Structures are given as C-alpha cells and as structure tokens.
Chain A
C-alpha cells in the first residue's frame, strides 16, 4: 500500500511517488465555538459543550454547544410555530426555497467538501464527488416534488414537526436525505447531527440563513445520545427519522411504541457482495474495493461480506490483494487519497476489537504493507479469508475497512448465505448472465440490490432496508411517504 507521504513500494519495480496534492484549507472558516441553530439564529445551548476534532490529526476544531432537554423542547416549540405557516405555504413557494438551498450547496460546494473532510476524516475526492453533489441533487429533486405531491400517491398532508437524528458517516448527505423531503412535504424539522461531525450541519444552518428560509423551519441542535433521545421522545414531535445503528434504532422503536409518531429507521447492514465465476472479474474487483473501502467502510450498505464462487476464489483474492496494495491511505485533504481516517477513537477501537476477534476465531487476516500516520485514527484496509458464517466478523457490522471473504458453490448456496443475517439493507451480484442477475435480485432479502455495480446512490432511487436494517425508504417518490399522512387503510 502506498502511504501518501512516505511511499513504500511493495514491488521490486521502481515506482514514481505521488506528489502531495492537498486541497487548501483556506476556503473554510471554522469558528472557535458554535451555538444551536433555533428559530433562524444561533443561540446558546444549556448542556455541557463538547469539542469536535479532526480525526486525521486529533486537532480540536471547535467547541460545540450541547442541547439539553429544555433546549430540545424549545426547538420543537419553534418548529411547531413555524409549521403553522410553512405547512400551509403553497408547494410552489416551498419549492423555491429548496431550489435556493440546492443552488447554495452547489455554489459553496468546495468549501463544504473541505469542511466535511476535515471534520469527518473522509477523502476530499469523496466529499467533492459524492457527498456534496448528491446532497445538492437531493434538494433539487425534492424541491420539484413540493408542488406535485398530489401525483405521488401519499396524499398532500404533512405530518408536522419531524425530529431527525443522523449519523457521522455522511454528515451533510444524511442531512439532505432527511431535510429535503421533510420540507418539500410541508413539515418543519429539528435535526441533530452526530456528535463527532456537527460542522457541516452548522454550515448548512448558515445556508438556510442565506436562502432566507423562514425562521424555525429548520432547526439544528447539537449534542450526543441524550440530546437525540430527548428529541425522539418529545411528545410534540410527529415524525421520527433516524439513521444509525440497529441497537439505537431498536431503542427508538421501543420508545415511540404507543405514540402517534410515524417512524422511519435506516439502520445497520452486513451486505453480501456475490461474485459468480462468469463475472467480469476486473469490474468485480473494483466493485468489491468500492463496496468495502469507500468511506473507510463507514457505510451501512457496505459490501462487507464477499461471497465468491469457489472456482474463482483464488483468482479473485489474488487480484483483490494486488488492487488493495495500490490504495493510498493518508491525508483526507490530499486529492490522491483513497482511504482517509477512521471517524473516532471509539470507532477505531471497535474495528480493532472485531478484527482481533476475527483473527482469534481462526480467520486469515491480511493487509497490504501500510504505514499509518502517527497522529489521528487509522486502520489499514483489511481482508479476512476462511471466514465461516459463524464468525463474528461475518455476522456483526464492523463499520470499517474490513472485508470478510466466504465462498459458495451454487446459486442456491449463495442466496442462503447472503440472506443468513438479521440485516437486509443491500446486496451486490456480479455475473454476466442476465437471467441469473434477476433470479438473485428476486431472492435476496435486501432493500437495494446492485448488479454489476455497487454503492450507487441517487435522489430518485429509494434506499432502505428489510428486516433489522429498518423500515421506510429515503429517496425517490417512495421517500415522500415518510413525511406525508400516507395512503388510507
């Protein structure tokens, strides 16, 4: 593996080093401290403030206010007040605010991308080419729905105040997935970004100000688990939308039991990426790498279980390892970086623990030669071979750059193994045979099936899970259902 600064060639061939190609930090202006964004302005929080750090350097970036229960209550009240006008505003007018937001995200795209890379640790090429453009596209897409809801099939009645809690893996993109459809349908929102990645949400608050979005329509409250709990438990919240772990999703489902709240949950996954012997192998290798190493594997739909047909297993593994050795790990702001920093010390501990368990349980562990930076949180791309279905690394979501490889002989065995998990978010199939793709797509219990591709996202395409990966869909026409009263029974 090539480290950005100290290129260590693992082959005998001479290789040219990459020159550093860092994106400039000068474009972002991080304030020393941030308050809560409530009612269109920044206000002090009453909880204990906390620090957000850069996971690639451990440098403290800013002091962030924590919303306590009273702050949450206030934000919900403000959102309720704003709902009275926002919910009644003609859809065509709401649309124009959303179009404005989409445009400002595009205008300030590079700034957002850099800020996201700094706060999250993910490579700039991903924030620049994936997170930011898809976030803008979500606002653009749902803006157009605002005055066309009558055609969507879920009625036109908004729910009211949405309480939304999002994770740290795609901070701005998850915000867009939550806020764009909510606003298009006429709801107002109180959103809590993840504690380790609040900065782009707070920048988004500024974007709302620049767009002259009416005060209180979007409220951003920062904090950790207890702030999120207070938000989803608030009796005047009509809709709860959560993306995160299955354990927290389950706790939320329990806490809203018996209430009137409509809930959508987008939770964990342990996706199978299935490679048949007739697959276009070079493309499949790229798909496997993209499936598990994109965003350091901090992806709920990551292809974390590679199911490869026995007859091509050796070849696939050899090529995969060769490809992994070319991945560049290091400075997230370097444009050549493929793998950035792990988001937090806590997450790094979890990845290390599960990987050690994988080794202890007898799986073969391999990483390319790799020099990790001295500061910050890093984990090399790792592959485990000889993994069985009983291994914890084949059952539990690691949420890191760790791939478990299993083999199969027949399509039926592949289906059996792929579905042998309580999760059901996504799956991948690689084969040249069209009828087999459609057969596999039918049999796989997963909300998204990528055939001869992986980790593709689009605002028009519904995303969400089966089974314990949660319920409800985000994106597409289906994504509107989460924010409207819905079909009659």
Chain B
C-alpha cells in the first residue's frame, strides 16, 4: 500500500485556561466557532457559571504570589510573553486571519501591534508606582507616602472584534500592576485567545494569574459581575451594548467593584494607550509615620 500524498492533520482541541490548567468546561458543553466567512473551524469550550467561579478561585489563589513579585520580575515575565508570541508568529497570524477575516498581511500587523503592546505594558511594571505615587508634604512631623497597589481579582470582558490586539490591550494593563484576571474571550472570535493562553502557560506566568474563558457572555458575565470575591470588572467588550453593561454594573455594586464602563463603539486598538487601564485597577495606599529622634 502506498502512503497518501497528503497526511491527515492532527487538530487542536480548544479548551479553557483556568489556574494554569486546560480543562474542558466542567459542564461538558461546547459551541461551534466559525471563521469570518462562516465556515466551521472548531468546537470551543462553552464556559459555565461554575467554570467562572473556578476561575475566580484560581485568580484569588494566584493574587498573593503575583502581586508580591517584584515589579521588575513581572516586567520580565510579560516581556517573555511577548517573546513567545513572536516565536509563534505563523500560528497567531493564521488564527487572527481566520477569526477576523483579514489578509495575512493585515493579520501580521495585528500580531506586531499585539506584541509591541505587551512590550509597552511590560515596561510599565516598575514605572507606574513612580508616576502615580506621591510623597505628601503634610503639615506636621510625619513621613507620608502614597503608593499604588493592585485592586485584586479583575474580571475582564474582552473586546469582541479585535480578537488578539484587543485582548492583549485589556489583559496586559490589568496584570502588569499585580492584579490577577478572569478574562471572557470574544464569544464570536475566541480562538486567538485560546492560543494566547497556550503562550501564557509556557511563559513563566504563574497559573491563575490570567484565566481565559471561552463561550457566551450570558453564561459567565453575570456570575463574575455579582461575584463577591471579584474586586473589579472591565466591561470594554460590551461596547455598544449599554443595557447589558448597565445590568452588570448594577450587579457589580453589590460589593462595590471598581467598574470600567464600555465605550459606545469598540476603540481603535492600534492607537497608543494612556495609563487609564492600569490606574482604574489600582488602589492608592497612604502610609503615615511620625518623624522624631
């Protein structure tokens, strides 16, 4: 028997990323992901409410270690993520091309921008404290210093259109300062996020720092918004859906989460960001101590 002239491809199973592991949804559910032209690409895991709660637990468990690392170390780890993405160019270009219906050149540019964005945020790790902290000249014999600290566990509803650059642009600013994240990938374009999670798993990012769920917002977003152990929520991915965003913001008030409201339309992610996505998820701690001999 002669061998076939083209071999049968080994396909990838697209899974969730929780606590550094790649589980299927505990619910056993999956959903069909098509490419931009409507052709079947894969079955992705359909995250359940329980998956969302598991992810919060993993993020909380990872918070102490991640926020306790030196800023220099977090910077190096995020930079390492950028390195590994660069290393996997063909895979990302293909995933973005497929998801967003771009040409290979356009998809390559989106990848370039994503990598550069990570490098940009990585550099902020040991500078944000200097830019947002303060020595305060109080009227008395006291040392008084204000420093930023990460808020805690941040739920992130990632952009729906920009499947990789948008994703990186909302995840990096949350975690670079020491927060941990539970990220809802674009429901319609989730596959680049899954590939991104495979990069995270091989880039020295501790398990649980970034958790990525694929599936429908209706399953997971309300759970995260009302979860009492989530400290903040970024609703950027709900651009244009003000009713859903308002409902989630209302739930988020239960434990006074910090809320980043969505814009009316999805932003142009190619523009250089400001520092607002970092500062929204930072607390300011002010320490007083008397001065004396």
Interface residues of A (CB under 8 A from B): 137, 153, 246, 249-250, 253-254, 257-258, 265, 267, 422, 437, 441, 446-453, 456, 458, 460-464, 466-468, 470-471, 473, 476-478, 486-489
**Complex contact A461–B144 (CB within 8 A):** yes
User: CA A473 – CA B134 in complex, angstroms?
Assistant: 13
Once A462-B134, A489-B273 are accepted as A-B contacts, the answer to whether A456 and B256 lie under 8 Å apart by CB is no
User: CA A153 – CA B231 in complex, angstroms?
Assistant: 25
- Quick one: closest B residue to A250, CB to CB? B253
Min CB–CB distance B249 → chain A (angstroms): 4
**Interface 1/0s, chain B 80-92, versus A by CB < 8 A?**
0000000000000
Among candidates A446, A460, A470, residue contacting B256 with C-beta atoms closer than 8 Å: A470
- Quick one: closest A residue to B148, CB to CB? A478
**Complex contact A253–B231 (CB within 8 A):** no
Main secondary structure of the interface of B (DSSP, over half): mixed
**Complex contact A446–B285 (CB within 8 A):** yes
Once A258-B249, A467-B255, A488-B274 are accepted as A-B contacts, the answer to whether A460 and B138 lie under 8 Å apart by CB is yes
Interface residues of B (CB under 8 A from A): 131-132, 134, 136-140, 142, 144, 146, 151, 231, 242-243, 245-247, 249-250, 252-256, 258, 260-261, 267, 273-277, 279-280, 283-290
Contact residues in B for A441 (Cβ distance below 8 Å): 285, 287
**Complex contact A449–B276 (CB within 8 A):** no
User: CA A477 – CA B144 in complex, angstroms?
Assistant: 13
User: CA A489 – CA B280 in complex, angstroms?
Assistant: 9
Contact residues in A for B249 (Cβ distance below 8 Å): 257-258
**Complex contact B288–A450 (CB within 8 A):** yes
**Complex contact A468–B288 (CB within 8 A):** no
**Complex contact A478–B146 (CB within 8 A):** yes
Contact residues in A for B151 (Cβ distance below 8 Å): 466
Min CB–CB distance B270 → chain A (angstroms): 14
A-B contacts, 19 listed (Cβ < 8 Å): A137-B139, A153-B132, A253-B252, A254-B253, A422-B255, A446-B285, A447-B284, A451-B288, A452-B289, A456-B288, A458-B140, A460-B138, A460-B139, A467-B231, A467-B256, A476-B136, A487-B279, A488-B276, A489-B267
Among candidates A257, A462, A477, A488, residue contacting B253 with C-beta atoms closer than 8 Å: A257
Among candidates B245, B255, B267, B276, residue contacting A487 with C-beta atoms closer than 8 Å: B276
Contact residues in A for B136 (Cβ distance below 8 Å): 458, 460-462, 476
**Complex contact B250–A448 (CB within 8 A):** no
The 3 closest A-B pairs by CB, nearest first: A258-B246, A488-B274, A253-B253
**Complex contact B287–A489 (CB within 8 A):** no
Min CB–CB distance B12 → chain A (angstroms): 33
